Amino acid sequence: MGAESRYRMSQKRLDELKQELEYLQTVREREVSEQIKEARSFGDLSENSEYDEAKTEQGKLYSKIAEIKNLIENAEILEKVQSVGVAVGSKVRVLDLAENVEEVYQIVGGQEANPMQGRISDESPFGRGLLGHMEGEEVTVEAPMGVLRFRIIGIEN
């Protein structure tokens, strides 16, 4: 079987995942265990909706724990790179040439992407299109919604 997928993220994101895992394995697991225990006390398990709901919740919890463990075990920490061009971690100020609107984005690993907050994955068409380019350059990006053109007007690394 091939190598596991690596999940690119900052040290901060990795620390957040570790905290979430700790919470799920301690506090949340105890809460769900108590729900199951309480539901069992209601009697016949074959017609006990509270028990079924608690067991479903337990399944979701264990699935989430497994997912987070996988992310942690396969994390690839993105190092801050001193670069003159756009790199992962850069904040990029661009001018959308079609709309004549200035926008600011931060290029991040896939695990930290949140387009609504201006955090664009380095693996997205837009993120890939900006990587390596310099301030003042015009960049053309082929995105699912069509071809986009931007001018890079500022880079913070």
pLDDT score recorded for residue 2: 41
Token pair, residue 33, equals 């265990």
CATH code, residues 7-77 = 1.10.287.180
pLDDT score recorded for residue 68: 92
pLDDT score recorded for residue 30: 95
136 phi-psi bin (left φ>0, alpha ψ -120 to 50, beta other): left
CA-to-CA distance for 107 and 44, rounded, in angstroms? 54
pLDDT score recorded for residue 156: 87
pLDDT score recorded for residue 28: 95
Tell me which architecture the domain covering 91-156 has in CATH.
Roll (3.10)
CB 156 within 8 A of CB 141: no
Domain ranges of the chain: 7-77, 91-156
Judge if 7-77 and 91-156 fold alike in CATH terms: no
CB 136 within 8 A of CB 143: no
Angle at 86 (CA atoms; ends 108, 143), nearest 5 degrees: 70
Q: Which residue has the tokens 């984005």?
A: 105
State which residues of the chain have pLDDT below 70: 1-4, 79-84
CB 135 within 8 A of CB 92: no
**pLDDT, tens digit, for every residue of 67-89?**
999 989 988 887 665 556 888 88
Strand runs (DSSP E) across the chain, as ranges? 7-9, 75-77, 91-96, 101-108, 119-121, 138-143, 146-156
CA-to-CA distance for 67 and 51, rounded, in angstroms? 24
